[in-house]
Amino acid sequence: MRDLLKECLSEESGFVELRYHHKESRSFFAERGRVESTALRKRTGVGVRVLESGTWGFASTSEVTKASIQNAIQIAKKAARLSSALRKDKIPNLPKANFAVGDFIGKGIEDFRSRSVEEKLKMVLDIQNEAAKQSTKLQSVGCGYSEIYEEKAIVTTDGADSFFSLVRPEFRVSAVAKEDGKLESGSHSIGVTGGWDCLFRSQSPSQISEEACKTAVDLLSSELPLGGLSTVILSPSIVGLLVHEAIGHTVEADFVLSGSVAQGKIGHRVGSDLVTLCDSGSSEFYEGAGGTIPVDDEGVIPTNTVIIKNGILSSYLHNRETAERFGVAPTGSARAWEYGDVPLIRMRNTFLLPGDSSLEEMIANTKDGYYLDGAKNGQADATGEFMFAVQKAYRIQNGKITNLLKGVTVSGLAFDVLQNVDMVSKEFKWDLGSGHCGKGQPAKVDAGGPYVRTKVLLGGK
């Protein structure tokens, strides 16, 4: 594929970027004793981006032939020329980058190819059947397995020349419990970049299922917590949501240029000394983080970017264009979801570095607060105000976990929450590898870190 793309570029003089993308997604879902759906999704094509007359032009084609790709290049150039007169802030030449050259074959691909459809169907059906027997209060249990296999080739006129492949499996269980007309849900999911063993490394399918079902049943007897500003200990999945939603989005350089709360804050204190925050294209500490990429969608090798070092904001996340504007090196953060999508600045694996405390010490040192666990969804705003939803809130009183309360929405201002971090645990976990981040396009990301104690606004009664 690299050879075909290079052939298409052989007569081009300006900046042209070709991105071949083949994606296959398989999904299997079982509920109420039967396989409810099986789906296979295949999408292939080439995205063409040009920089002409100081602005971008983009076109795509699902026909992977020289003639069709070269036609798309001409359409993209025409689009750029037509719009150039309007663009005020012309894009200068793009900076040189640490381009990926060669083939990068992901781990776990052969493992997935060798496993049959029947094996995957049997797993979701068996787990679903087993789970439904756990409690008579369970109204419905759904079990799903999915995997995305991708291959990409990225070639540019200024030096990128790579091919890579990877596979991202996910497993999820969702349960609904009922009692006296009350319905409650519980869910648990995992996702990685890598093979089957990597997916079930820390929890087996049965353990994942038990956790989801237990949450649904336990919440039947829970009540809302008291609303207000509260001391909280966040589990790694919630820390993942916090660093992704509250901080990560505000430091994406396109968002910074639009006026996010992180604008002009490089070198400023935005968190306590205990806070060191990174975003990496690799899976730091151990393999399998769900947002791992060997090459970004501009053909750049991703870095481990230190966003906050001991509380001081030190870097934004960049593509080539914003790196030029800020006079820094690209961080390898340009990502596109499909071949027909233009690459955007996106997070990869976002995490807080672990500290010195243990979870036990943190709980024992908390007189009045909550332990929050089970990530649901989250969103952030330009103001740095974020919200995320948790499944479970456990009350902590006098250094001990007491009753389970219904999980609700947690909100705060990103930098205030980081400033209030006063304990960080030694333990570390990637815990946000399932699902997607949305920013016009979806993206597979991961996030996590240690247990963290801070203050947030808890929605409640």
Partner 1 sequence: MDRGAIEKRLNDQKDLLTNLISKAKSNGMEQVEIYSSYGYSEDVSLEKNDLNNCTATEENMFGIRVIHEGNQGFLISNHIPSLYTSIEEAYQLAKSQSTPDLDLVLPEVRQLTNQFDTYDSSLDTMGIEDLVSFAKEALGWRSDLYDKINIDSGDFSLSKGYKLIVSSKGVMAHELGAELSASVMGMGVDGDLVGSFDYDSASGFTKDQFQTLWKKAFHNFGDKCMGALYAKPTTGFQGKVLLPPDAVYSFFLGLFIGSLNGTSLRKGKSKMAGKIGEKVASSLLSIWDDPTNKGFMGSTGFDREGMPTTFKKVLTEGVLESYFYNTYEAKKAKLPFSNGCATGGAQSLPGCGPKQLQIAPGNTNKDEFFKLPGKTLFVNRISGTKDGASGDFSGVVKGGYLLEGGEKIPVREVQIVGNAFDALNQIEAIAKEGELIGESSFVPYMLLDGFTITGVMEN
Q: Which residues, 409 to 428, sit near partner 1 by CB under 8 A?
A: 409, 411-413
- Taking each helix axis from N to C end, the angle separating 205-219 and 117-132, rounded to the nearest 10 degrees, works out to 30
Query: How big is the site for partner 1, counted in residues (CB under 8 A)?
Result: 82
Tokens representing 420?
Answer: 């209030």
Phi-psi region of 311 (alpha: psi -120 to 50; beta: other; left: phi over 0): left
Segment 91-110, which members bind partner 1 (CB under 8 A)? none
Taking the complex as a whole, the smallest distance from the CB of residue 366 to partner 1 amounts, in Å, to 21
Q: Does 180 bind partner 1 (CB under 8 A)?
A: no
Q: Does 70 bind partner 1 (CB under 8 A)?
A: no
Q: Does 32 bind partner 1 (CB under 8 A)?
A: yes
Q: Does 14 bind partner 1 (CB under 8 A)?
A: no
Name the H helices within 146-279: 196-199, 205-219, 236-241, 253-257
Q: Contact 76/50 with Cβ under 8 angstroms?
A: yes
Binder of partner 1 out of 3, 7, 14, 39 (CB under 8 A): 39
Q: Does 136 bind partner 1 (CB under 8 A)?
A: no
Over the range 344-381, which residues count as b (16 or more CB within 10 Å of their CB) and which as e? bbbbbbbbbbbbebebeebbeebeebbbbbbbbebebb
Q: Does 4 bind partner 1 (CB under 8 A)?
A: no
Positive or negative, the Cα torsion across 342, 58, 97, 194?
Answer: positive
Q: Does 88 bind partner 1 (CB under 8 A)?
A: yes
Binder of partner 1 out of 227, 273, 397, 402 (CB under 8 A): 227
- Rounded to an integer, what distance in angstroms lies between the CA atom of residue 425 and that of residue 451? 5
Q: Does 45 bind partner 1 (CB under 8 A)?
A: yes
Bridge-based pairing of strands 228-234 and 368-380 is: parallel
Phi-psi region of 288 (alpha: psi -120 to 50; beta: other; left: phi over 0): left
Segment 366-385, which members bind partner 1 (CB under 8 A)? 376-377, 379, 381-385
Taking the complex as a whole, the smallest distance from the CB of residue 90 to partner 1 amounts, in Å, to 10
| Interacting span for partner 1 (CB under 8 A) from 190-198, 207-215, 220-228, 274-282 | 220-228
Segment 386-405, which members bind partner 1 (CB under 8 A)? 387, 389
Taking the complex as a whole, the smallest distance from the CB of residue 160 to partner 1 amounts, in Å, to 19
Binder of partner 1 out of 93, 221, 258, 402 (CB under 8 A): 258
| Interacting span for partner 1 (CB under 8 A) from 176-184, 329-337, 355-363, 443-451 | 176-184
